[in-house]
């Protein structure tokens, strides 16, 4: 395992490995995801990962405000989240999705989160590239922050789009397990899952951190034990935490070094834990 490095002004060229567990089952890199995916998949013409979970920039850092813990705070997550205009934002979505498509195995699938600010561009890009759209999940948040302007409905959901690599893909769907988790009934495309727990922020916070439970469900639905899960916007490493917990392998990259260092700490801790069994029943 390499030690987390000090903060760099710009990402390394080429992307640099920051953390690797002893067995090589979890790796996270600091660097640009476009460059990383180009380099990593260059020798894999048919791709190499069974699943991708992507939480791309929502382009929300526009000087607005929101409510956090009862306080009015600015919506400013960083330069990486600032909009460059609809055309350039869409071009970016096309570029990273094209590379993700190359990284997937023929029967692999991808999950992408987003709000209305980005998800329609993502959906159009998926269609342009020839992905097969499988589901649009509505992720309902039980305790969303109030809308301060009182000019809109309270923003209480995000979308999670699930797509297979192509129309020819025979994607994995663990239907019986999903039904068992849902009390013996078919699971609907509306998921009520709360925000990340306090224990998920033990080593620090990330402004767009997703709950482990959300990514666990995606992984359980569309992969098997031992499969490789890729996250091109790894952030604080939540995808890696879920993957390790469920017996999958993980590969992640992120542009922001403080986030990568946070992810490395979380992954190292998860790798030392004894309770690495699936949190959901019924999986073999």
Q: Regarding predicted confidence, which is higher, 75 or 91?
A: 91
Residue 170 pLDDT = 98
DSSP tag of 257: H
Average pLDDT score over the chain: 86
Size (the chain), residues = 284
Given a cut of 70, whether residue 70 has pLDDT beyond it is no
**pLDDT of res. 77:** 52
Q: Residue 106: pLDDT above 50? A: yes
Q: In what order do the strands lie in the sheet with 249-254?
A: 16-20, 26-30, 249-254, 228-231, 49-54, 104-114, 157-164, 132-140, 190-192
**Residue 137 clears pLDDT 50, i.e. is over it:** yes
Instruction: Name the one residue in this structure whose structure tokens are 């078919």.
Output: 186
State yes or no: pLDDT of 278 exceeds 80. no
Q: What pLDDT shows up at residue 34?
A: 95
pTM score = 0.86
- pLDDT value of residue 178: 98
The pLDDT-based confidence of 7 (bands split at 50, 70, 90) is very low
Using only C-alpha atoms, what is the Rg of the chain?
18
Query: What proportion of the chain, given as a percentage, has pLDDT over 90?
Result: 64
pLDDT value of position 11 = 80
Query: In terms of CATH, what superfamily is 16-272?
Result: Vaccinia Virus protein VP39 (3.40.50.150)
Judging by DSSP bridges, how do beta strands 16-20 and 228-231 pair with one another? Answer: unpaired
Q: Tokens 């929101």 identify what position?
A: 66
Q: Which residue has the higher pLDDT, 59 or 88?
A: 88
Domain ranges of the chain: 16-272
pLDDT tens digit sequence for 176-196? 999 999 999 999 999 999 988
CA distance 36 to 67: 35
Q: How far is CA 138 from CA 191, 214, 219, in A?
A: 6, 11, 17
């Amino acid at each position: 395992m390499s030690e987390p490095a000090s903060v760099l002004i710009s990402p390394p060229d080429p992307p640099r490995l920051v953390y690797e567990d002893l067995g090589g089952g979890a790796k996270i890199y600091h660097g640009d995801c476009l460059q990383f995916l180009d380099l990593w998949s260059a020798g894999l013409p048919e791709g190499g990962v069974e699943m991708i979970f992507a939480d791309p920039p929502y382009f929300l850092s526009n000087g607005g405000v929101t409510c956090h813990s009862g306080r009015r705070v600015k919506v400013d997550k960083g330069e990486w989240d600032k909009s460059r205009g609809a055309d350039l934002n869409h071009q970016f979505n096309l570029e990273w999705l094209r590379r993700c498509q190359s990284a997937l195995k023929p029967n692999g699938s991808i999950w992408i989160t987003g709000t209305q600010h980005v998800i329609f561009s993502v959906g159009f890009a998926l269609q342009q590239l020839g992905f097969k759209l499988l589901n649009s999940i509505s992720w309902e948040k039980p305790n969303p922050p109030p809308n301060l302007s009182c000019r809109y409905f309270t923003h209480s959901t995000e979308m999670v789009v699930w797509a297979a690599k192509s129309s020819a893909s025979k994607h994995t769907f663990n239907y019986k397990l999903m039904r068992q988790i849902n009390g013996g009934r078919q699971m609907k495309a509306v998921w009520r899952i709360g925000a990340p727990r306090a224990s998920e922020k033990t080593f620090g916070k990330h402004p767009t951190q997703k709950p482990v439970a959300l990514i666990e469900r995606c992984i359980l639905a569309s992969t098997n034990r031992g499969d490789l899960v890729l996250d091109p916007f790894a952030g604080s490493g939540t995808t890696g935490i879920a993957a390790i917990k469920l017996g999958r392998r993980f590969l992640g990259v992120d542009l922001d070094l403080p986030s990568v260092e946070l992810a490395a700490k979380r992954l190292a801790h998860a790798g030392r834990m004894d309770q690495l069994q699936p949190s959901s029943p019924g999986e073999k």
